[in-house]
Structure 1
Amino acid sequence: MGSIFNAFTPGATSERPDDEDDVLVESIEEDNPTSASSSNTIPQPDGGTAMDEDSWARRDVHGRHDSTSDDMMEVHEPIMAWWHDFQRHGVGRFIMEHTAIIRDAAEPETNGLTILWAPVLAIGIPLTILPVIFAGRLGWIIAAPMLVATLAGLLMSAIFWVAWRNDKQRNADALNTRKGFMTAHEVASAYGPRQLVRRAPRFLPATAARLKARGLQLSPWDAGVLMGHAHGVEVWATVEQPLYCVGPARMGKTRNYVLPLVMGAPGPVIATSTRRDIIDQTKSMRESGWQGSDGLRHRGGTCWVFDPVGIARGNPAHSLNWSPVDGCEDPHVARRRAADLTATTGLSGDNATWRNSAGAIMQALLHAAALKPGGSIEDVYQWSRSFSAAQQAAKILEDAAIDPKYERQRADGEIAVDWNMELEALKLDDAKMKGNKWYGVAQAMQALGEPKVRRALSVAHDDPNRFQIDKFLKSHDTIYLLSEFRNTDGDDLPGIGGFVSMFLTSVVEEARKLAAGSVGMGKLEPPVALILDEIANISKWSMLPQVITAGSGDGIWATAIYQSRSQARSSYGEDTEREMWDSSQKWLLGGISSTQDLKEISDLLGTRQVRRKETTHEGMKIEYGHVTDRIEDKPVLAMDEARDIPEDMALYLSGRNRGAIVNLIPPEKRDWKPIAEEDRL
């Protein structure tokens, strides 16, 4: 039958898979003329050089399709809308999951019309011919409607093919049905809700015990976030392991990935962004609480906004009353925060020595501000403006070294009694040396040159109304950290990213303190979610690699979201980025352009076996053709296919499991509804 259709459709190929449940094999039949060729080309829309139909089909699948008239588009859109709904239920789901029709027709190497016609003819021809053979004249009466139905089926298949072959849905169907990815059973066993609930008591023992004492059971929402479906099975991202997402701009990353994580995280949430859209789409329901289509209620809490620069233009206004100096009476805290600030200065390589000098000065200034009653970042800023002003900080540290009220702290090493020496030494340096040391300090404080930024951050470390991180970690509150983009040369614009890093470091250190004193496994439950969108464009947060590789053990669930892996490599180096990659659940969206990354993805997924049936013939006498079988290995996902993953889909890789193609659930299909005030718990 394949040869007949190949003669009917010049240059076409058809795929006939062998049904082998235990071997991952696909079958493709090809015609390869050796001594004569038929007309296997079709003209391009612009009248240019002709190309063969298979090349044209591949071009269509990958989005470079021909122009379509308005009338055709009016037919195309409802057909694809019908098909999208049809394949999700009943007969459509059965065809997708349990037959090879769509899998074979969707492959770019094939002419899908031939494959779509095959089952119609396989059913229609016998039902048309057999009554004529065995029932005489009555058979013609029976055969007539069968013939009409068969012709109608062929026509409908052709109309569907015209709409489908140029549509991104064909690419999506190819990925959804391809052998080599996880099956429905594998998805349910690895990422399904039942499996998540079954594992949850191991990594959320205190939560499980608390619910059991109240006569309740864990739900998947206590242990993860629903991301999408694969083969009709729910796919959940577990809070047991961090997430690493690679999604270039304009690929639906915020809509399909970030928003569900912010909304669905089971505990407190911190979300970074360079835009306000995440606030607009989640803040009201994170405050009121929300209810999904499953009927489960999700608690609301206070929403805080860190926006000293004014990215949201005051609506909502900056409301995070946090003091960067709070906690810096502890030398360890002061040192870490100074490192976060000086990491934004761009001093590296040969200038790393000056960054270290700037860090030593900054930690002394922060420490002094924390020891000063009512001290704030305003004091640090004023001290950083000149060498002479910094001597005020040196005097505070010098006095603390002999003040009787600090005797216990000095004995326990809780006050750095000699940090004033770093400031005193400036008096002995020549002008050039002073300038080199002070350059990093001035750069780190550059953002505070804007009065509105300084005003937003100048909260006294002993202000009773200041933001309390420990209380936040025990809540269901949400913090939105907004920052401008870093400059293209790697420096922050104008240093706000350093304060974002300082705040994140403060949260992590406080979370570890609380985890050490908590019941169960010594971790926060529910975990605090750090959803770090655009983190590479905000700041090179020094603690991120540690949080990704080890934070889950403390109840810190981090999601690092990059436009490309090269962003992480440039921030932390190739080896450290590799550790982050290996430690995470990996989510890959379409649009990745790095050849290195695409090749690694393709190699990681391995190969599938494809059985090809090749017909070689002489001249135009196809009936004398010679058919041969050969099996070849093809990538489960070729590099160009990884690049062309559709917008509403993602490749999910975790642990030793095979890759899963996940159809992400966009916000408009999640049925989120805010809980009315009178119905809140």
Structure 2
Amino acid sequence: MSSPNNNRRRDPGGLSSEAVLGLVAIFGLAVVVAALYAAMHLGHRLAGTGVEVPADPFGVVFGLFGGKYEWPGAAGWWVLGGLVAVVVTLGTLVLVWRARSAKRRTRVDRQAAYMGRGRDIEDLSRKAVTAKAERLGVTAAPGLPIGLTVATRQQLLSSWEDMRITIAGPRTGKTTSMVVPCILDAPGSVLTTSNKRDIVDHTRGPRAERGPVWVFDPQSVANEPPSWWWNPLTYVTDEVKAAKLADHFAAGSRDPGAKADAYFDTAAQDLLAGLLLAAALGGRPITQVFTWITRPTEEEPVEILREHGQRLIADQVAGVITAPEKQRGGVYGSAQQMVSCLTNRQVAQWVNPLGDDDKRPQFSPEEFVKADGGTLYSLSREGRGTAGPLVTALTVAVVEAAEELAARSRGGRLEMPLVGVLDEAANVCRWRDLPNLYSHYGSRGIVLDTVLQSWSQGAEVWGEAGIKKLWSASNVKVYGGGVAEVGFLKELAELIGDYDRLSSSSSTSRGQRTVSTQLHRERILDVDALSALPKGRAVVLASGSRPTLIRTVPWMGGPHDAAVRASLAANDPQAEYTMQQADQELAAVAAAEATR
């Protein structure tokens, strides 16, 4: 919370009317004196009168009106008229500029003066971020873009040690101003998730110039054909990773906020982990797991586990098979719901080979993180029965492969950072361990930005404690407006802080005028202002820096404009409409900036 000493400002209403009139009178007198002085000097020189005008402006003016000095005739009037015309023109231009600027400014821009700027946000400056990048050995790019401060138009960036979280409601410009710029400015490999095709259409062209592009689209979100495949069981190298993969299926199969059954859901998840491990050890496709689940008395997975020395897990699976019929049916039924997405033939094409002569390339997370410049788009629709568990599993497989590579690299970090933009994370990438791992990944050169539409979205997936942990572990927090959750906005308003408003009032009694001042503490941005944050504005909270108000910078009109438009034209079926929208938004931004 801000203290009165370092955040004291005058009343936002400005000076009193008496003070304004006084300043206008002083300024007007100075202009008149200067104009007359200039007219006397230049007029006598042009007229060639030979009169020496002294250097004291007030002496010249008083001498002129007192009859001590003569007016230089027509030459003086021409000079005076020219000066008056110049002053009137400049005054008109200033008034027009102020009127247009005031019209274009948003209602919250004034509050930027009470928020972070200059040294308050020095750690986010290009100079500081570039120094960090050089220290880490990353010379391709200093960091990821955040935006421009409203107060000073200073560019802000996050470093290659900063983990990010972005919370912004629908239609607030997340894709154009936050997601797309981060993907395009990433110097190395990129991993991104989404439930829409727009990110692929915007960035596929520019990213293809840096390395191979992989679009994982088992539900035809972007109508991508299955030209490659990934075997999720390559991730299952032991019982620990089998349990993790089972957890992804369990998390993706439940409705957000639904409570798990204390016995059946836990037992089903343990059974699924055992079957996944058996399929991996036996070299079976992942769809075999669903087949086993539909046959509760099938002993084959137990035999495979015992053949490979996994006796305890074999006993666990066998215990469910030999359980009473109702108990066994409940466990197998719950497990069947968890892997229901495997019944979709379209999904199966992405995670199974198409016969023995399948010539499609197989995706390898380990090879992907080794080859700098590749891009992986993981797409899925939201809801139960979707490919969300597979998107989560693929995301985790890539991140953990990057972590293992970092552990073998100099300094325990990736030489080239891996950027992960988890757009729509709460819908398509329900990674339950993410809050616990967030801060750790920052030290490994794995830079993640979790993008949510609201605080409650995160709470449904990770719980209230989990989303708080994720929020606290993020070095850079961006709020882009469009959220109507009072509890979250109240906490955000408290984090932004207060300012002390110094106002004055005057009163007259018995011919004596008294002026008094009052100090009022007020919120810089209250709940209503945060909820209705104008489009193009965002609040940034970073570790060690004061909260600041920024202007988000869309890709339109930037260095990637031509490349993105070419990518849209090549990939977006509604390219003409999409670019028309981009042009309209760019025109609006340009019109607003032209008046600042």
Measured against the shorter chain, the TM-score band is: 0.7 to 0.9
Partner of 2:406: 515
Query: Are residues 1:284 and 2:205 paired?
Result: yes
- Answer whether contact 2:143 2:159 (CA < 8 A) is retained: yes
Shift of 1:143: 6.9
User: Which residue, 158, 169, 174 being the options, matches 2:110?
Assistant: 174
Distance between the aligned counterparts of 1:124 and 1:532, measured in 2?
59
Shift of 1:115: 10
Taking structure 1 as the reference length, what is the TM-score of the superposition? 0.69
Shift of 1:123: 2.9
Shift of 1:483: 0.9
Secondary structure of the residue aligned to 1:531 is: strand
Q: Deviations over 1:253-286 (max 9, x none)?
A: 1110011111112221110111000011101100
- Answer whether contact 1:301 1:477 (CA < 8 A) is retained: yes
User: Which residue, 491, 505, 524 being the options, matches 1:600?
Assistant: 491
Query: Are residues 1:124 and 2:28 paired?
Result: yes
Shift of 1:674: 4.9
Partner of 1:266: 187
User: Which residue, 435, 458, 464 being the options, matches 2:329?
Assistant: 435
Partner of 2:478: 587
Percent identical across equivalent pairs?
Answer: 23
Between 1 and 2, higher relative CO (CA 8 Å, sep ≥ 6) is seen in 2
Quick one: structure 1 residues 157 and 223, their matched pair in 2 at CA, closer, same or farther if it must change by over 3 Å?
closer
Distance between the aligned counterparts of 1:578 and 1:441, measured in 2?
30
Partner of 2:55: none
Partner of 1:5: none
Partner of 2:376: 479
For the pair shown, the structure with the greater C-alpha radius of gyration is 2
Partner of 1:422: 316
Distance between the aligned counterparts of 1:393 and 1:119, measured in 2?
89
5 Å-filtered alignment, 1:537-556, equals 537-556=427-446
5 Å-filtered alignment, 1:224-623, equals 224-230=143-149, 231-288=152-209, 300-314=210-224, 317-346=225-254, 349=259, 351-373=261-283, 375-388=284-297, 390-398=298-306, 400-401=307-308, 410=309, 416-459=310-353, 465-475=361-371, 476-486=373-383, 492=384, 494-519=385-410, 521-584=411-474, 585-616=476-507
Which one-letter code corresponds to 2:493 in the other structure? S
Partner of 1:212: none
Secondary structure of the residue aligned to 1:610 is: strand
Which one-letter code corresponds to 1:477 in the other structure? G
Which one-letter code corresponds to 2:482 in the other structure? G
Which one-letter code corresponds to 1:324 in the other structure? P
- Answer whether contact 1:112 1:161 (CA < 8 A) is retained: no
Shift of 1:460: 9.1
Partner of 1:25: 8
Quick one: structure 1 residues 145 and 600, their matched pair in 2 at CA, closer, same or farther if it must change by over 3 Å?
farther
RMSD across aligned positions (CA)? 3.4
Query: Are residues 1:195 and 2:145 paired?
Result: no
Distance between the aligned counterparts of 1:427 and 1:568, measured in 2?
37
Distance between the aligned counterparts of 1:240 and 1:117, measured in 2?
53
- Answer whether contact 1:536 1:567 (CA < 8 A) is retained: yes
- Answer whether contact 1:113 1:158 (CA < 8 A) is retained: no
Distance between the aligned counterparts of 1:606 and 1:146, measured in 2?
48
Quick one: structure 1 residues 171 and 481, their matched pair in 2 at CA, closer, same or farther if it must change by over 3 Å?
same
- Answer whether contact 1:181 1:658 (CA < 8 A) is retained: yes
Which one-letter code corresponds to 2:495 in the other structure? L
Shift of 1:113: 11
Secondary structure of the residue aligned to 1:670 is: coil
Quick one: structure 1 residues 123 and 307, their matched pair in 2 at CA, closer, same or farther if it must change by over 3 Å?
same
Quick one: structure 1 residues 517 and 267, their matched pair in 2 at CA, closer, same or farther if it must change by over 3 Å?
same
Distance between the aligned counterparts of 2:17 and 2:286, measured in 1?
69
Secondary structure of the residue aligned to 2:500 is: strand
User: Which residue, 622, 639, 662 being the options, matches 2:550?
Assistant: 662
- Answer whether contact 2:111 2:524 (CA < 8 A) is retained: no
- Answer whether contact 2:294 2:332 (CA < 8 A) is retained: no
Quick one: structure 1 residues 600 and 329, their matched pair in 2 at CA, closer, same or farther if it must change by over 3 Å?
closer
Which one-letter code corresponds to 1:645 in the other structure? L
Shift of 1:122: 5.1
Unaligned runs of 5+ in 1: 1-20, 29-106, 209-217, 289-299, 402-409, 411-415, 487-491, 677-681
Q: Deviations over 1:524-543 (max 9, x none)?
A: 22222221011112242122
Shift of 1:396: 2.4
Quick one: structure 1 residues 467 and 130, their matched pair in 2 at CA, closer, same or farther if it must change by over 3 Å?
closer
Quick one: structure 1 residues 559 and 150, their matched pair in 2 at CA, closer, same or farther if it must change by over 3 Å?
same
Taking structure 2 as the reference length, what is the TM-score of the superposition? 0.78
User: Which residue, 178, 183, 186 being the options, matches 2:117?
Assistant: 183
124-133 or 342-351, larger mean C-alpha shift: 124-133
- Answer whether contact 2:125 2:154 (CA < 8 A) is retained: yes
Distance between the aligned counterparts of 1:172 and 1:119, measured in 2?
28
Quick one: structure 1 residues 514 and 117, their matched pair in 2 at CA, closer, same or farther if it must change by over 3 Å?
farther
Which one-letter code corresponds to 1:468 in the other structure? S
Quick one: structure 1 residues 122 and 664, their matched pair in 2 at CA, closer, same or farther if it must change by over 3 Å?
farther
Distance between the aligned counterparts of 1:545 and 1:151, measured in 2?
62
Secondary structure of the residue aligned to 1:313 is: coil
Quick one: structure 1 residues 26 and 512, their matched pair in 2 at CA, closer, same or farther if it must change by over 3 Å?
closer
- Answer whether contact 1:184 1:232 (CA < 8 A) is retained: no
Distance between the aligned counterparts of 2:22 and 2:407, measured in 1?
65
Distance between the aligned counterparts of 2:368 and 2:448, measured in 1?
17
Q: Deviations over 1:470-519 (max 9, x none)?
A: 11111210000111022xxxxx3x13111111112212322222222222
Distance between the aligned counterparts of 1:558 and 1:112, measured in 2?
50
Shift of 1:639: 2.7
Shift of 1:144: 6.5
Shift of 1:344: 2.2
Q: Deviations over 1:403-451 (max 9, x none)?
A: xxxxxxx4xxxxx233233332344333321222022211112112221
- Answer whether contact 1:497 1:538 (CA < 8 A) is retained: yes
Unaligned runs of 5+ in 2: 37-60, 567-596
Distance between the aligned counterparts of 1:369 and 1:138, measured in 2?
105
5 Å-filtered alignment, 1:125-144, equals 125-128=29-32, 134=62, 135-136=64-65, 141=77
Shift of 1:245: 0.9
Shift of 1:567: 1.7
Quick one: structure 1 residues 599 and 367, their matched pair in 2 at CA, closer, same or farther if it must change by over 3 Å?
same
Partner of 2:51: none
User: Which residue, 533, 552, 557 being the options, matches 1:645?
Assistant: 533
Quick one: structure 1 residues 173 and 360, their matched pair in 2 at CA, closer, same or farther if it must change by over 3 Å?
closer
Q: Deviations over 1:314-340 (max 9, x none)?
A: 3xx344521111132422221110111
